Amino acid sequence: MKRTTTYGYKNDSKKKYIWISVGVVVILAAAIAVFYYFYQNNENKTAQPAPTESVEEQNSEQEEKTEENESNLMDEGNTTDSNEEQGESEQQITNNGYIEGQPLPTEPTFVEGVLIANKKYPLPSTFAPGESEEARNAFEQMATDARIAGFELVAFSSYRSFEYQDTLYHNYVNRDGQDNADRYSARPGYSEHQTGLAFDIGEKGKEDLWLTEEFGETEAGKWLVENAHKYGFILRYPQGKEEITGYMYESWHFRYLGVDLAGKVKQANVTLEEYLGVE
């Protein structure tokens, strides 16, 4: 009996351990189940919105792309907007009006349909349209009427290729230094003469006044300022506008814009940069 009792006691305590073990296992299992449940739930919460967001992102990306395409279509080669945005976001370091480190573009810039070439909007080195026939015809008409008024006008320089401007500019730099050359001669790619729409005009028989401010004081120079717009030309670099145009006063440099626009710019009494809002 003693053994049985002992046995019974041993048996009892064994049962007790078993129940405790079962209890621990159940609690552990429950804990694991609860943990797993919350873990799963939590993952769903973070996982679920993710695909929605990426879809939204994709959508907005697509919308942006569509907008870009639309604006590209509207602008048709007009790179001004993107250029301006780039310019505003970056710190522009300028050197004699040029933006330091700016590469030449692959496409020319048109603002409101007007081809622009200045120190901020250069031309591709490959842009070589030659002299504009329309501008040449307009000049000849102007020269004919000037002859009647008593002046023999000469266009002593019009279209200049990128390569020619390169040679010309570097000759000026060698002669006068870069700072001086930058005031009256464009670096290659930046010359309006590369558009085929710029004409340097002087008077026959007064060659000594070609490329001088004094030409603007002559009767021929004054006649041009008053009448050039009727033929589609404007005095491109007027006195006191160096800050805007990037060039000192050039009494001889005229730009062909067509009669309509030239008349408007003349009427507004502003530079082309101011008229187009690309100062």
Residues involved in catalysis: 250
- How many residues in the shown chain lie near Zn ion by CB under 5 A? 2
Does 242 contact Zn ion by CB under 5 A? Answer: no
CA terminus-to-terminus distance, the chain: 115
Tell me how far apart the alpha carbons of residues 243 and 276 are, in angstroms, rounded to a whole number: 16
CB of 250 to Zn ion, least distance (A): 6
- By beta-carbon distance, which residue lies closest to Zn ion? 253
**C-beta of 151 vs 159, nearer to Zn ion:** 159
| Span near Zn ion by CB under 5 A; candidates 128-136, 142-150, 223-231, 245-253 | 245-253
Among 196, 118, 194, 211, which Cα is nearest to 156's?
A: 211
CB of 200 to Zn ion, least distance (A): 4
Among 166, 175, 78, which Cα is nearest to 121's?
A: 78
**C-beta of 241 vs 253, nearer to Zn ion:** 253
Q: Please report, for residues 27, 37, 105, the alpha-carbon distance to residue 41 in angstroms, rounded to integers and kept in the order given.
A: 21, 6, 55
CB of 147 to Zn ion, least distance (A): 22
Tell me how far apart the alpha carbons of residues 25 and 27 are, in angstroms, rounded to a whole number: 5
**C-beta of 120 vs 253, nearer to Zn ion:** 253
CB of 255 to Zn ion, least distance (A): 9
* Interacting positions 254-273 with Zn ion (CB under 5 A): none
Tell me how far apart the alpha carbons of residues 3 and 13 are, in angstroms, rounded to a whole number: 15
Work out which of 253, 265, 271, 278 binds Zn ion, going by CB under 5 A: 253
Q: Is 7 helix (H, G, I), strand (E, B) or coil?
A: helix
Task: Confirm if 119 and 190 have CB atoms less than 8 A apart.
Answer: yes
**C-beta of 75 vs 200, nearer to Zn ion:** 200
Residues 6+ apart with CB under 8 A from 13: none
* Interacting positions 163-222 with Zn ion (CB under 5 A): 200
**C-beta of 78 vs 157, nearer to Zn ion:** 157
CB of 273 to Zn ion, least distance (A): 16
> What are the residues binding Zn ion (CB under 5 A)?
200, 253
